[in-house]
Amino acid sequence: MSSGETCTAPAGDGSASHPNVSLSRLDLPSVDLVLQDLPQISTSLPSKNTEAIESEEQEKMFRSLKSIIEHAKGTAEAGGSFDLKELHASLEQADADARRGRRNLESLQSVRTILDSLWSSNSKYMVQAAEVLANGSRDPSWRTPFGQSGILKFFLEIISSEKEVDAALLLHALRLVGNSCADTDENREIVIKDNYTLAIIRHFQDPVLIQVAIPVIYNICMDYEPAHTQMAENKTAYILLSLLKDGAMKDNEALLSFSYDLVELASEQVKGVENSPGGTIFLLMELAQDEDTTFEYYSPLVNSLFKYLENERFQNVCISNGLVEGVLATLRRSFSIEIDNSSVEETKALLQLQLKTNQALAEISASSLFMKYYPLDSPLSQTLKSWVVADEDQLQICACVMLGNLARSDEVCQVMVRDLKIHEELISVLNSDARGAVLHSALGFLKNLAIAGDNRIILADAEIIPAVSRLWAYDSVPQVQFSATSIARQVIISSVENIARLLAPLSQDPDSPAHERTYLSLLLSLFEKSDSSPIKTEIGRTIASICRTISPKAREGDEQAISILNKLYDLHEGVARPLGAMTTQTQWPVVRSEGWFALALMANNNSGCVAVVDCLQNKEVMEFLRTTLSADPASEGESEGTNSSQISKDRDNAFVLVQELLKNESGALQAGYRDAMEDMVRDASQHLKIALQ
Query: What domain range is 171 assigned to?
Result: 28-36+99-277
Looking at residue 41, its pLDDT comes to 77
Checking phi first, is residue 310 left (phi over 0); if not, alpha (psi -120 to 50) or beta? alpha
Q: Taking a C-beta distance cutoff of 8 angstroms, is the pair 207, 248 a contact? A: yes
Per-residue pLDDT at 491 exceeds 50: yes
**pLDDT grade, residue 241 (50/70/90)?**
very high
Question: Angle CA(576)–CA(581)–CA(585) in degrees, nearest 5?
Answer: 155
**pLDDT grade, residue 76 (50/70/90)?**
very low
Q: Considering Cα of 279, then 281, then 287, then 289, what sign does the dihedral take? A: negative
CATH code, domain carrying 266: 1.25.10.10
Distances (CA, A) of 94 to 31, 319, 397: 47, 67, 72
Q: Is residue 147 part of a domain?
A: yes
Encode burial over 372-399: b for 16+ CB neighbours within 10 A, e otherwise.
ebbebebebbebbbebbbbebbbbbbbb
Average pLDDT over residues 551-580: 95
Looking at residue 640, its pLDDT comes to 53
Looking at residue 63, its pLDDT comes to 65
Average pLDDT over residues 651-668: 88
Q: Is residue 607 part of a domain?
A: no
Average pLDDT over residues 350-364: 97
Distances (CA, A) of 644 to 634, 639, 649, 651, 685: 6, 10, 9, 11, 19
Q: Is residue 130 part of a domain?
A: yes
Q: Is residue 118 part of a domain?
A: yes
Distances (CA, A) of 282 to 275, 334, 364, 384: 15, 17, 15, 21
Count structural domains, the chain: 1
Q: Taking a C-beta distance cutoff of 8 angstroms, is the pair 151, 112 a contact? A: yes
Average pLDDT over residues 627-655: 77
Nearest to 150 by CA among 110, 102, 208: 110
Q: Is residue 438 part of a domain?
A: no
C-alpha 353 chain-centroid distance:
11
More confidently predicted of 319 and 670: 319
Q: What confidence tens digit (pLDDT) does each residue in 139-184 have?
A: 888 888 899 989 999 999 999 988 888 999 999 999 999 999 999 9
Give percent above pLDDT 70 in the chain. 85
Q: Which of 97-101, 404-408, 564-568 has the lowest mean pLDDT?
A: 97-101
Average pLDDT over residues 510-514: 84
**pLDDT grade, residue 17 (50/70/90)?**
very low
Q: What confidence tens digit (pLDDT) does each residue in 95-140 have?
A: 333 333 333 566 677 788 888 888 888 888 889 889 888 988 888 8
Per-residue pLDDT at 81 exceeds 80: no
Per-residue pLDDT at 457 exceeds 90: yes
Per-residue pLDDT at 70 exceeds 70: no
Three state DSSP letters for 672-687: HHHHHHHHHHHHHHCC
Q: Is residue 403 part of a domain?
A: no
Average pLDDT over residues 648-664: 90
Nearest to 307 by CA among 359, 381, 256, 236: 359
pTM, 2 dp: 0.82
Q: Which of 224-238, 475-489, 638-652 has the lowest mean pLDDT?
A: 638-652
Residue 249 DSSP one-character state: T
Q: Is residue 614 part of a domain?
A: no
Q: Taking a C-beta distance cutoff of 8 angstroms, is the pair 341, 302 a contact? A: no
Q: Is residue 667 part of a domain?
A: no
Average pLDDT over residues 628-640: 69
